[in-house]
Amino acid sequence: MRYCLFLLAMLGAAAPAWAENRAVVIGNADYLHAPDLAGSDTLSLAGVIRKTGFVTAEGVDLPSNEMRGVLDLMARVDDMPGARIVMLSGRFLNDGAETWFMGTEARKPGPLGAARQGVPLGLVMQLMASSEQGAVLLLGTDRQGMPHERGLANGVGPLSAVEGVSVITGPPEATGRALRELAAGRSVKAAVAAVKGLRLLPGADGDAIPVRPSRTVPIPTVEPSDPDRQAWAEAMTLDSVRGYSTYLERFPLGAFASAARERRAGLRLLQQSVPGEMTASPAQIEAALRLSGAQQLQIQRNLAALGIDPGPQDGTIGDQTRHALRIWQRAHRFDPTGYLTADQLAQLRENTATAADPAGDRDFWERSGAKGGIERLRDYLKRYPEGLFAADARRQLASGGQHPLLQSRFRGDSATWRWARRQDSSAAYQIYLDRFPEGAHREEAQLRHDNLLALTEAARLEEAELGLTITARQIIENRLHLAGLEPGLTDGEFTEDTRQALRRYQASRNLRVTGYVSRQTAATLLANGAQPE
């Protein structure tokens, strides 16, 4: 069981014998009962600050209990506190006195519910205040709100200044840029000045420099050998105590030894914060489930029912089934290990049950999306992402009657910008920039475009994981051609014309616009066709 923040703040723990710089980065974008949030690349940002020598903890789309577990890093006792940096991107609620960072499960809370479904910023700031070398709290959110009861308001409310803690607020993309500026050794004031749209709250120490060159991981004094590089790459891929220890055993004086020790120390600290967790490998966690042959066969059948080929359905999870599990895990934002946890096994069963429940699908549609409204449509798609009415729901969300990509031309700067914001993809922002290079929103469009490029790379990798055959690619191109989206030749080669057609199709179905075939895009194209809007 995770220790709660309050207990960790009160109870002592074995403190390290050296000063540690610590950072926490949490990005919540996919809320169950609130509008999704566009944001910066959480894991990439955590990696940036980790490279400067900080011990880090990070998480993406976390419910409140898991957020507290990640923030435990700030509560651990440290006799020689180093710098502290916390970046929280997501939805916030406040009552005029306290502000809570909300977990992804939050559902129309009142003042008491906010305390259960969120983390109070006042406590976070108090935990950071122990720093003797500078502390910065970055809060990223947009202007959309989440449902709540009376007594609460959306957004970051008034925050009581805490000595030594500087607070920066702004859009998620802007706060992400500010974190990179801090990681480069900028002062708090310089980081805020370098990025448009940020606000430095009163009481901040603008001259504080939380990341100093002397604190960064030492640059190797020797050129690493090929075996050294390979061993380091393997360690980074595993990102575990065992992986970094193996590297250090082979290369105790290697070019990356200092970085390996830093990361291993951070992982060990997190293991102390979360007893019994993070020590077992994915394979060991799955082995503890003691899956029988019948259960393994059912897993293979479930994957097949969801349109993911598990290979031979023989009751033995082999390489092909592991590959299918990675595709499924990535689609549901799990760590794509190819091995199941108890929670993932339950999720897989639920996905299969809803996919095979047409009566329940139809009934839920009548109670939700059929009545119209953005929230009802999103509720339906979260429960039945490939349901009987999923295409209708996406069309309603995407167009509201008219869709800009399917019109002969855009109607102007403002209309195109509103569309780009709704799509919130690098491709959409690039379309805006191409059409209006001197437009009123060009700076924000460029900022969002750059931050979303990393997500496009993830989409490219997801398409590669699908292992589409030439025949499957030709079918996709043919469906796009029948929809009048001009994908080019139907030859199985995905050219730039094909990518553009995919972007148009994804936009028309309210899918993430990347130009690459995700599992959801493939399922919609191959199962339902691509009828013109």
Give the model confidence (pLDDT) of 258-281 as tens digits. 677 766 766 665 555 444 444 567
Burial class (CB in 10 A: 0-12, 13-18, 19+), 270: buried
pLDDT grade for 222, boundaries at 50, 70 and 90:
very low
Q: pLDDT tens digit string along 20-45?
A: 789 999 998 888 888 877 655 677 78
Query: Which of 37-51, 138-152, 268-282, 369-383 has the least mean pLDDT?
Result: 268-282
CATH class of 282-355: mainly alpha
Secondary element (H or E) of residue 89: strand 81-89
Query: What residues contact 458, with CB distance under 8 A and at least 6 apart?
Result: none
**Per-domain residue ranges for the chain?**
5-215, 226-273, 282-355, 410-528
Query: Which of 81-85, 355-359, 524-528 has the least mean pLDDT?
Result: 355-359
State the Cα–Cα distance between residues 31 and 146, nearest whole angstrom.
Answer: 9
User: If we measure between CA atoms, which residue out of 41, 16, 71, 26 comes closest to residue 262?
Assistant: 16
Has residue 158 got a pLDDT over 80? yes
pLDDT of residue 216: 38
Q: pLDDT tens digit string along 325-344?
A: 988 887 766 778 899 987 78
Give pairs for 434-437: CB < 8 Å, separation 24+: 435/410
State the Cα–Cα distance between residues 10 and 481, nearest whole angstrom.
Answer: 64
Q: Rounded to 5 degrees, what are φ and ψ at 400?
A: 60, 30
DSSP 389: T
Q: Which residues of 82-103 are buried (b: 16+ CB within 10 A; e: fewer)?
A: bbbbbbbbbbbbbbeebbbbbb
More confident residue, 440 or 256: 440
More confident residue, 404 or 64: 64
Structure tokens at 528: 């339902």
Task: Give the alpha-carbon dihedral of 303, 307, 313, 316, to 10 degrees.
Answer: -30
State the Cα–Cα distance between residues 211 and 441, nearest whole angstrom.
Answer: 32
CATH 3.40.50.1460 corresponds to the domain 5-215: yes
DSSP 492: S
Angle between helices 442-466 and 319-331 (to 10 degrees): 160
Radius of gyration of the chain from Cα atoms? 24
Has residue 229 got a pLDDT over 80? no
Longest dimension (CA), the chain: 67
Secondary element (H or E) of residue 306: none
